[in-house]
Amino acid sequence: MTALPPLVRIGRLLGLLVALTLLPLAGRSAAQPSSAPPMDGSWRALTFTATKFTAAITVRLRIEAAAASADGPTRPAAGQADGCPEPGGDEHQLTVVVASRGPAMDNRYEERIWFAPADGRLRARVRRNRIDDPWLKRYCREAAGIRRFKIEPAGPAEKPQSPAAWSEREATFYPFPAEGAGCAPVSDPVLLLHLLPRQADLRDRPFVFCAFGRQQLHRITVRSAGSETLRVSYTLSDGDGAQTVTEQLKAPVYALTSEPLPAPGQAAEPFSLLGLRRDIRIHLHPQTLLPLRVSGMAGLFGTVELNLQQATVD
């Protein structure tokens, strides 16, 4: 056999090495395709952050299947029987944690909401303030309104204990206006971030959303407010891992207006979404529809911009 010239032998060797290198990579790409982010704004967890003056604010949201537990909506106080029925098998649970830290400031507020995933229909929720002024409030949806059970420590000695040992308790019923003021279904304000991206034709017609606030119903109307150029950077996680998304884009903006619907004899209360009360705007990603920013006026803080830092999708 005639010996091959040295350059030909080297070329064939390099070609073989390249083929051996690319073959496993091609196999891995076919076996483990990277899943694209959802195009309907669906998410399992979101984390937003904001900095205002010397305070750092973090908001964490997580949606999962509802499950009865020892500290669930019916038993946040050691099996007390004055609560709501256990969650159904088709219901979901949204957990909300809002924390703010800064000089002379350390607050943590938690909320759990049990709802029907198809339309956001509220069934029950638990709100808890853990620091400074601890309390726990449990809300149960009934046919004509919401029944609230409030539990708090009777004095300083009970403060360090769990809600099961708190002895100050009261029950209050908040009726809806006659015929529910045209609100069906009744949801929770935070669930707007779950329902809004799923609405079709948001640019062409407003989305009307009814939610129960602290003590009464609110009718929220969401309208297109054009678009705004944003530069975003957040971590996107799915079943295949995590990646950092950094891009400049033109985000659709949606503005909220709210109308309180108090029952007869009840004073109107302000609407609140994650502590934001006025001039609330939501920026969505133009393709995936994930919420990128939630902004508005928040009391003494003034304008607060909660920007997306982490998102987990299916």
Q: Kindly write down the DSSP assignment for every residue of 163-177, as one continuous string.
A: GGG--EEEEEEEEPP
3-state class (DSSP) for residue 123: strand
Q: Tell me, what's the pLDDT at 69?
A: 52
The model scores a pTM over 0.85: no
Q: What is the mean pLDDT of residues 170-189?
A: 84
Specify whether the CB–CB gap between 227 and 252 falls below 8 A: yes
Across 208-215, average pLDDT: 92
212-271 pLDDT, tens per residue?
999 999 999 999 999 999 999 999 998 889 999 999 999 999 999 999 999 888 899 999
- Alpha-carbon Rg for the chain, nearest whole angstrom, is 25
Percent of the chain with pLDDT strictly greater than 70:
79
Residue 234 CB neighbours (<10 A): 21
Q: Which of 148, 131, 118 is nearest to 42 (CA)?
A: 118
User: What are the CA-CA distances from residue 18 to residues 5, 11, 158 (Å)?
Assistant: 20, 11, 71
Average pLDDT, the chain: 81
Q: Which pLDDT score, from 0 to 100, does residue 68 have? A: 59
